[in-house]
Amino acid sequence: MNDEQLQTLEQVKDFIEGSQAIEFRGLNAREKYIWTEEVLKRFRYQKLKKDGKGLIKCYLLKVTGYSRAQLTRLIGLYQESGHVQMVKYQRHRFPQRYSAIEVALLAKTDELHGWLSGPATKKILERESAVYGNQEYAHIAGISVAQIYNLRHSQRYGGKRYIHTKPVVSKIGERVKPESQGQPGYIRIDTVHQGDREGHKGVYHINTVDEVTQWEVIISLERITENHLAANLEDILKQFPFQIKSFHSDNGSEFVNKIVAGILNKLLIRFTKSRPRHPDDNGLVESKNGAVIRKNLGYIHIPQSGADLLNRYHRRYLNPYINFHRPCFFR
């Protein structure tokens, strides 16, 4: 509010009498406090007589909208310090009995022992201090069972709790980059799904490609299970006109299983699989999925019952076409 034109008590009195029907509202408490302090300083409130102080007080009540008690408190604050400032709110906080380091010890202990009950965890903390002499546990060893549960639900505990993902370790296949060294017989294999319709699964295609010669064999299966694949795996390998030396796949369970590994081991074929964070390890056959299978069979749903009919089509038309007639410039 710009009221610098009001410089005398007579002007303030005229303003109050002329604005009886007007209601003033400040934007916020901070602006009201600043304006109140400025008015008190301008009229030298502490040196005014009783009538002058009452007039200034009425003026402040009119403009700020504060209650008489609130305004009296602000004026008293001004008379003590010479300023009218908002008191910063300070939330009351209870002292923390256990430090962040001790909460981290509790979280570490819980993780190592599998988050036991409160009494069992308390006993472990006591033994760390009393039996094994770990001084860092000396204070937290006296924690109550109830406080253990309280800390487990606190934000400080949540920030110190580390649950490491345990990798799935499979001893089937070698995680290596596929290397053909310029020789045929190093094939890549992948799966293509022909879509679902109304809750019914479509047929699956198995695509295999030799890395050097680009010889490609496609078959279709009703289901993509290890048993279905194992029943057709030897048939796939026999359709290659050279000896298969290496078999490379991604980490899908339809390939990485004991049945497939047993067949490959019997045929003395090395079994390799893609490495983590190396999506291009099996990129050759994945590019063929789009360039060959999708271009010839599309994306439309084909029911599983059509697998046998598709296999006859693959043997008679598709596989001979892509291996003898379709140009391939992949190097």
Kindly report the CATH number assigned to the domain that includes residue 183: 3.30.420.10
Domain check: are 15 and 106 in the same one?
Answer: no
Domain check: are 193 and 311 in the same one?
Answer: yes
Last residue of a domain, one of 81, 111, 127: 81
Is 81 buried (19+), middle (13-18) or exposed (0-12) by CB count in 10 A? exposed
Residue 188 lies in a domain: yes
User: Terminal CA-to-CA distance of the chain, rounded, Å?
Assistant: 79
Tens of pLDDT, residues 169-189: 667 888 888 888 889 999 999
Residue 227 lies in a domain: yes
Using the structure block, give the residue that is written with the tokens 């909208």. Answer: 65
Tens of pLDDT, residues 288-328: 998 899 999 999 999 999 999 999 999 999 999 999 988 87
d(Cα 238, Cα 226) in Å, to the nearest integer?
19
Domain check: are 137 and 30 in the same one?
Answer: no
pLDDT at position 163 over 60:
no
Domain check: are 178 and 302 in the same one?
Answer: yes
Give the pLDDT score at 25. Answer: 60
Domain check: are 148 and 261 in the same one?
Answer: no
40 CB contacts (<8 Å, ≥6 apart)? 56, 75, 78, 84
Domain check: are 200 and 290 in the same one?
Answer: yes
DSSP state of 199: T
Give the pLDDT score at 320. Answer: 93
Nearest Cα to Cα of residue 13 among 48, 49, 54: 54
Give the pLDDT score at 160. Answer: 56
Residue 87 lies in a domain: no
Segment (H or E) for 200: strand 200-201
Domain check: are 225 and 259 in the same one?
Answer: yes
Find out whether 30 and 39 touch, Cβ atoms under 8 Å: no
Domain that holds residue 109: 100-160
Residue 2 lies in a domain: no
Give the pLDDT score at 245. Answer: 93
Total count of domains within the chain: 3
Residue 257 lies in a domain: yes
Residue 226 lies in a domain: yes
Higher pLDDT, 228 or 291: 291
Give the pLDDT score at 225. Answer: 81
Tens of pLDDT, residues 39-69: 888 888 888 888 888 888 888 887 787 888 8
Q: Of the segments 79-88, 260-269, 306-315, which one has the largest average pLDDT value? A: 306-315
Residue 231 lies in a domain: yes
Q: What is the mean pLDDT of residues 256-272?
A: 89
Domain check: are 198 and 291 in the same one?
Answer: yes
Domain check: are 178 and 318 in the same one?
Answer: yes
Is 241 buried (19+), middle (13-18) or exposed (0-12) by CB count in 10 A? exposed
Higher pLDDT, 168 or 82: 82
Domain check: are 62 and 181 in the same one?
Answer: no
Residue 219 lies in a domain: yes
Domain check: are 269 and 180 in the same one?
Answer: yes
Last residue of a domain, one of 81, 108, 131: 81
What is the chain's mean pLDDT, rounded?
85
Domain check: are 184 and 319 in the same one?
Answer: yes
